[in-house]
Structures are given as C-alpha cells and as structure tokens.
Amino acid sequence: MGLRHIGQVAFQIGDEIHRLNVYWFDDYAGGIFIPYRDATNDSETYGGGRYVWDSAKGADLGSDDDGLVLDFNYAYHPSCVYDSHWSCPLAPPTNWLGVPVRAGERLA
C-alpha cells in the first residue's frame, strides 16, 4: 500500500502543541490519511494506533481555511483489530504522541 507524505497538521492538547504527518494513499481508494499512536495504546486502545482521518473511509470532517478539521472523538481502530484478514498501515514513529488521547474508539 503506497503512502506519500504530503504535509503536517498541528493541534493543541492542553497547553502543548503537537504535530502529525499527513499522508496520501497512492493505492487503495486514494485520499488523505492520518494514523497516530498515543499513550493509551496497549492499555485502552489498540497497540498499533488509531486513525483520526481517512478520507477513503469517509472519516473526513473537511477543512478550515488552509487546515484540516481534526476531531479525535471520531478516531477509530484499523480494520485489522476486528479481522486478521486485513493488513493495516500503522502509525510511523513520527506520529506517536507522548500524551493520552482519551477520545474516539477505545477497547475498554
């Protein structure tokens, strides 16, 4: 599955600014893709991370001026969590957040 880095988004959690790399699917269905890991992985959420934006699956809240609208309440687990027949792209180390994101889909 071809992913191409196309930019970065910045957002605030508490008093801290965080950044995630944004990717474009060259294969599959095309579109923007933002996977991430956070401090809830392995305990409250899937160890491989979650997706906060995947336009191929309709998880696209649009844009605002020159930025993307991110809402972690819509974060979800990749399909491989539910069916081992799926092979899912996981968040690269550059998209690992050191803070917990207690929003969106969780295991517990």
Rounded distance between C-alpha atoms, residue 98 and residue 100, angstroms: 7
Rounded distance between C-alpha atoms, residue 22 and residue 41, angstroms: 20
pTM: 0.85
- 26 within 8 A of 32, measured Cβ to Cβ: no
The pairing of beta strand 3-13 with beta strand 67-68: unpaired
Rounded distance between C-alpha atoms, residue 80 and residue 96, angstroms: 19
Rounded distance between C-alpha atoms, residue 93 and residue 30, angstroms: 22
Residuewise pLDDT in 10s, the chain (108 residues): 578 899 999 999 999 999 999 998 887 667 788 999 999 999 999 999 999 976 655 555 656 677 777 889 989 998 888 888 888 888 999 999 999 999 999 996
